Chain A
Amino acid sequence: MQFFTTWLEYFREVSGGLGSAVQLAIISLTLGYPLALFLAILLDHKNRYLRWLTIIFVELGRGIPLLVLLYIFYQGLPQIDVVPSALTAAVIAFTWSTAGYATEIIRASINSVPPGQIEGANSIGLSPRDRFRFVVLPQAARIALPPLMGLAIVMFQLTSLAYVIAISEVMQAAYFLGTKTFDYLPVFVAAAAVYAVITIPAAILVASLEKRISRFAT
């Protein structure tokens, strides 16, 4: 019983870092998702250089581990005398990574709009811009919503990485508590619980949303 109350104490303290974690996640998603939409559209641009620049940007965001991106901005930039704050570095790294994955999701969603829809839109003479705005985008958005929500949950989990660049979120709180009490196992289990308590209900929500969306489509 004593063990359990102690553990609850740990849980409470570790969840103090939750605010920062959620904050970081929300900022990165708010910046990253619109950026991803923009990039997904750019991927079809007439200008070849623009397309290639976009591809490179997206692949870098996706192909470089988030941890390495964090280090690049926090520990790397000082080499050229740019010293961003931990939060700035974290936001840039997370946004880039988010945009990388989200662009793929959005692009795939745009491509899975049935080609018949494009033809239907063309057959009534809609301009390419109107076609995208009124026919393709609304349908792509519905398709993209569940995976984008899943990505949001993953990004929230990944805020745990921000610990390595001294951002005081959940892992940071846990680590400090651990070094203070030397009670590492329960402390980190508490950290695990903090994440699970948020992501498991979130995942269930996304799953039920997915079901409702699929009922809606023809």
Chain B
Amino acid sequence: MDISTGSYLSAKNITKYFGKSLVLDDVSMDIKSGDVVSIIGPSGAGKSTFLRCMNLLETPTSGEIEIGDFRITIGLGNSEPSTKELAILRRNVGMVFQSFNLFPHLTVLENVSLGQRKVLGRSKEEARAKSLQILERVGLSEKVDVYPGRCSGGQQQRVAIARSLAMDPKVMLFDEPTSALDPEVGAEILAVMRELANDGMTMMVVTHEMSFAREVGDAVYVMVDGRIVEHGEPHKIMSEPTHERTQKFLSAVLGR
């Protein structure tokens, strides 16, 4: 079973407790297909946790996640998500990590092909062809048979993006993709992400890069203490934040 096209991503009432602390407080978000959404806010606000709930790397304590016509409900009275449900969700939601998480014992090509072959069932040649195509798209054709250990940080992150793209995801999640990179290198990655956005990919990005949030996003969500305190169009939020906490955060970050 696959998720139909023209899909959107909807998170309803996502709540998460870590032990006794409330990390996500009834967070809801609606994304239309092709949207690029940035999530910004101070550290510890729960942004990453929320993002990771979207592909169930973290399991919310309660809430609902909908992608197209695929829905998962979590919480009291519902059983744990089955392996099958997890598989379907993760097949359609890709993720790019701050620390890349590439497989060091596989070459760049193998990294990008592994998921295609084992999860999507593509043949070796199919996977290879597709991997080469995507790696060219992100500018890494010469690094195809190299091990990640011999690639720079920026190159590794591009491999990570390629690995995710190779699965033909409906939605791509980015968890602070540039935080572990030098600013120059980060700009490269943001450029790749910009292109993806222009090509119509639905993206949810947790980031500290305000320029990206302002220029590329269709919407910006501000999260503080596990709650969304404001959201709207980037220009409006960044220039005229209404919520006091947003103002405080933005002034600290943008030095205004």
Contacts and interface: CB of A to CB of B under 8 A. Distances in A.
Contacts of A123: 55, 57, 90, 94-95, 97, 101, 164
Interface of A: 114, 116-117, 119-128, 130, 134-135, 138-139, 142, 216-218
Contacts of A138: 105
Interface in B141-188: 147-149, 160, 163-164, 167
Contacts of A216: 149
Main secondary structure of the interface of A (DSSP, over half): helix
A142 B149 CA distance: 15
Contact of B83 (A114, A127, A142, A218): A127
A134 B57 CA distance: 19
Contacts of A128: 83
30 contacts: A117-B103, A120-B97, A120-B100, A120-B101, A120-B102, A120-B160, A123-B94, A123-B95, A123-B97, A123-B101, A124-B119, A124-B163, A125-B90, A125-B91, A125-B119, A125-B167, A126-B118, A126-B119, A127-B83, A127-B119, A128-B83, A130-B118, A130-B119, A134-B103, A134-B114, A139-B103, A139-B105, A216-B149, A217-B104, A218-B149
A92 to B, nearest CB: 35
A119 B101 contact: yes
B99 interface: yes
A218 B91 CA distance: 27
Contact of A119 (B97, B148, B163): B97
A122 B94 contact: no
Q: By CB atoms of chain A within 10 A, which of B91, B97, B100, B101 has the most?
A: B101
Contact of B118 (A134, A142, A217): A134
A218 B104 contact: yes
A122 B101 CA distance: 11
Nearest to A215: B149
B42 interface: no
B68 interface: no
A119 B99 CA distance: 11
A125 B114 CA distance: 10
Contacts of B104: 139, 217-218
